[in-house]
Structure 1
């Protein structure tokens, strides 16, 4: 374990022993610290493409959906766990930049799907490639392929929706 985490854990144990859990606290601190480092690198990669994390997530969600790479705002909110107001703001930004389009819906005219615009394809493809590269580099700096697979499997268990239990 790295010295920063060891210091925080020792300080917690020394100064707040009644709330010290020797199993949960080291895990939580290591998990949050590793997430923060990985997320920070991913955000820096996104920024080189002038994308916020929310914009990147919207574009990536649309890109991985079946052709014509369109989802309704409700489907996007569900996929991203974003509020309606937050999604509206991101969609306005992406529309203004010409990265998404809002064609009229088929059937129900009140529902306007969100679709990737042509200029978004090379942008999100390059941005995803860069995010995956910095993520892969960080992982392989510290973990073997087998450790990555094991950790992924364990984290997937923790990420299971309570409805799946």
Structure 2
């Protein structure tokens, strides 16, 4: 996926045991919107996906598209990245679901550094194809996958 793949893979520390890179809430909140998107893209790159920026022509509030080719089946997910300071409402979940369908993805991910309100969690559960990725989950997954904070390099 060209330049985007390099943009995300440059944050991989190469240590999937989590050694050396401890994320915390402060580290997430200090990221700019562009850096936060890059970190989320790096997380899915570490999980074996080819990740690219969605670009301005993709509908549904989607920031990233992640694809993983399998022997029998491929998987495509769309990711909406809500940066530090951004807000999430029920229309955000609905917009991501529409974008997931339009783009033929099997799953939508809504990622943000803050916890999600109960109404948002309920909407995602009711939907069934939207996964919420909050700050605590991000901290754990970023640390475990050896993703490096852009300011630590």
More helix by share: 1
Structure ranking higher on relative contact order (CA contacts 8 Å, 6+ apart):
2
Q: TM-score, normalised by structure 2?
A: 0.29
Q: Which has the larger radius of gyration?
A: 1
TM-score of the aligned structures, taking structure 1 as reference length: 0.28
